[in-house]
Amino acid sequence: GLYGLLRKQSKADPIGGLTVEMALCAPVMLGLMVWLGAGERALLLSGTPGQIGLLLLCGAMTVLPLTMFAAAAKRLRLSTIGIIQYFAPTGQFLSALAFGEAFDKARAIAFAAIWVALILFTADSLLHHRNSQRRQRRDAAARVTEMVE
């Protein structure tokens, strides 16, 4: 997606990039906290110590995967990042089935479309890889032939 593309092309290291992202989001989030706090709906301001602790832990648990994603985005092809991002919805789908969530026709069609796209992507990647290897072998053989002549 767009986020993966931006992270891949960014020159910032994972921690620096995440810091910039959070700095951009902070004013909006602080405003939301003030607005919710005014109506006594902000858990951070009105929750029990246990709830506040869990809420703060959620923030830390969010930073770790984002930092890891940013580091991986620098090392992987953009197409690989895209394919990996299909696994999260599939995991959510399987979890929903395990917990008895509704699975109607529209969701079945969407799920099938995602997996057809994954199959097409995988087949195209395999073909591209095979053709690339053939081209490399052919070029290497041509260089050897040129050296012999």
Residue-wise pLDDT for 87-106, tens only, equals 777 788 888 888 888 888 98
| pTM for the structure as a whole | 0.46
What percent of the chain stands above pLDDT 90? 5
Rounded Cα distance, 102 and 23, in Å: 39
Predicted confidence at residue 59, as pLDDT, reads: 81
Residue 67 or residue 28, greater confidence: 28
142 pLDDT more than 80: yes
Predicted confidence at residue 1, as pLDDT, reads: 67
**CA atoms 111, 113, 116, 117: torsion sign:** negative
**CA atoms 58, 59, 61, 66: torsion sign:** positive
Would you say 2 and 85 are in contact if contact means Cβ atoms under 8 Å apart? no
